[in-house]
């Protein structure tokens, strides 16, 4: 995997917690990806920031595949808040960040939105019910470690908006994720009406880390290594997104 050109920037938002948010822009080294180039906005989980190991590795991989990738903080994280708001309350902030990044970068093609854990959930809420403000066209939804339910509370499923998700969607989940029981995920994915790919990572936890005990060769696997191994999965899904076209 090559090292793409990465720029650290700040873009303006209108939010009580922060007037600007930090972003990291990964530009592809080579030409555009076959079939079209999609800019991708990635937001971290509730307890992390844009420099989360797995999120950074995902942005590097996307750029290596020929797509512009942007990692971004939401305003609550930029303000240093420890706790994240309810995901529903962050949808407007995600929309503001998306609009600001789009205006600043003026990228080619429609956007793929997503992120890791909380970030992916907020993106999915945005994709299901876009707010009234004008937003860039959306082409797809990329969720890594979607928090299907709170830890030890599998009865509290976070899928009420799934029947309204019509964008091409990729869900990447570890089989040992405490926030996404695999059997429950299998039961719930038929509710998603749009084109869907689900990729399960054997032995991976919520961070996509695989412990030595859970690894087939008894070697621990870091989240960045797990993400690097997603290259064929991500490339195939991005090809599907291009074939489907923006909606």
pLDDT surpassing 90 at residue 188: yes
Mean pLDDT confidence for 164-186: 96
Closest Cα partner for 123 from 109, 107, 112? 112
What percent of the chain is predicted at pLDDT more than 90?
84
Is residue 139 within 8 A of residue 109, CB to CB? The reply is yes
Output the pLDDT for position 194: 93
Closest Cα partner for 203 from 230, 177, 234, 171? 177
Output the pLDDT for position 67: 94
Instruction: Round to whole Å and give the CA distance between 201 and 199.
Output: 7
Report which listed range, 31-40, 127-136, 158-167, 236-245, is most confident. 158-167
Output the pLDDT for position 12: 96
Predicted confidence band at 2 (pLDDT cuts at 50, 70, 90)? very low
Which positions ≥6 away from 157 have C-beta within 8 Å? 148, 149, 184, 188
- Tokens describing residue 230: 């997603």
Output the pLDDT for position 151: 87
Crossing angle between the packed helical segments 91-105 and 118-128, to the nearest 10 degrees: 90
pTM, whole model, 2 decimals? 0.94
* Higher pLDDT among residues 199 and 244, named by residue: 199
pLDDT surpassing 50 at residue 95: yes
Residue pLDDT, tens place only, 137-166: 999 999 999 999 998 899 999 999 999 999
Sheet with 169-174: strands ordered across: 5-12, 20-27, 69-72, 40-43, 111-116, 138-144, 169-174, 196-201
CA atoms within 13 A on the CB side of 142: 29
Mean pLDDT score of the chain: 92
Closest Cα partner for 195 from 147, 233, 140, 134? 140
Please provide the DSSP assignment of 66-98 as one string. Answer: T--EEEE--HHHHTT-SSPPPGGGGHHHHHHHH
pLDDT surpassing 70 at residue 6: yes
pLDDT surpassing 60 at residue 33: no
pLDDT surpassing 70 at residue 35: no
Domains, the chain, with CATH or none? 5-244 (3.40.50.1820)
């Amino acid at each position: 995997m090559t090292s793409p050109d990465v720029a650290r920037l700040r873009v303006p938002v209108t939010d009580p917690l922060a007037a600007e948010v930090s972003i990291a822009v990964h530009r592809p080294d080579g030409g555009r990806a076959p079939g079209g180039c999609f800019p991708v906005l990635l937001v971290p989980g509730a307890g992390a920031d844009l420099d989360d190991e797995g999120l950074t590795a995902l942005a590097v991989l996307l750029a290596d595949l020929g797509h512009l990738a942007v990692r971004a903080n939401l305003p609550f994280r930029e303000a240093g808040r420890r706790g994240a708001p309810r995901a529903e309350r962050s949808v407007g902030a995600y929309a503001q960040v998306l609009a600001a990044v789009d205006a600043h970068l003026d990228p080619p093609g429609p956007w793929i939105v997503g992120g890791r854990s909380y970030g992916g959930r907020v993106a999915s809420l945005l994709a299901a019910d876009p707010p009234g403000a004008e937003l860039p066209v959306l082409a797809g939804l990329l969720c890594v470690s979607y928090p299907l339910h709170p830890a030890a509370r599998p009865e509290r499923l976070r899928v009420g908006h799934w029947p309204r998700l019509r964008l091409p969607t990729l869900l990447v989940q570890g089989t040992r994720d405490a926030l996404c029981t695999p059997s429950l995920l299998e039961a719930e994915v038929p509710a998603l009406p749009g084109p869907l790919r689900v990729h399960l990572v054997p032995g991976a936890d919520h961070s996509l880390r695989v412990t030595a005990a859970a690894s087939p060769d008894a070697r621990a696997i870091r989240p960045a290594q797990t993400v690097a191994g997603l290259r064929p999965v991500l490339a195939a899904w991005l090809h599907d997104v291009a074939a489907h076209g923006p909606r």
